Amino acid sequence: MTLSEKEKCAKGMLYDANYDEEMKLERAKTKLLCQKYNNIQYDDFEKRNGIIKNLFNKTGNNFLIEPSFWCDYGYNIEIRENFYSNHNLVILDCAKVTFGNNVFIGPNCAFYTAGHPLDIETRNKGLEYAKPIEVGNNVWFGGNVVVLPGVTIGDNCTIGAGSVIVKDIPDNSVVVGNPGKVIKKLENA
């Protein structure tokens, strides 16, 4: 049995997102919804939240995503209660991206589940892979943070501005740098 490119993606295998017509159509539909979201009058929260609820797999009741916002598919994203993102959030959700309760994201942050092979010949064929990202409860991201494929961030973490998160972060950690490193453990979190 031959797997479709979308099935390969879901299994964490190398896939060609530009070859699969279903994936191309889903991305186009999602980008149009993101564009619509970003162009809605700012104080029309009901309309904007309606688009997010339609776009995402799951949302809490209390959330705010400041425009502009972009994602690839939307249906791989889950946010829980008290989610806030400042301007210019990008979520490349080729795999699942899950945010816990009380997550606050500074401006210009990005969550990338998609990655590309290091092997030049394979990469030049347009192949990529996707690994899920999971963010726990009570996590704060400073501005300009990038989270890479396959990362899990535990509960009660603070991720300092400009950090690039390349590996899992344990609960109750303060992380800064590129690559992000734990610089402090929070005792009473």
The H or E element that residue 49 is part of is helix 45-55
C-alpha torsion angle, residues 143, 99, 97, 60 (rounded to 10): -120
What six digits make up the tokens of 88? 């210019």
Residue 6 is encoded by which pair of tokens? 């979308």
Long-range contacts formed by 18-26: CB under 8 A, 24+ apart: 18/126, 19/126, 26/73
Catalytic center residues: 116
Q: Which of 20, 68, 64 is nearest to 45 (CA)?
A: 64
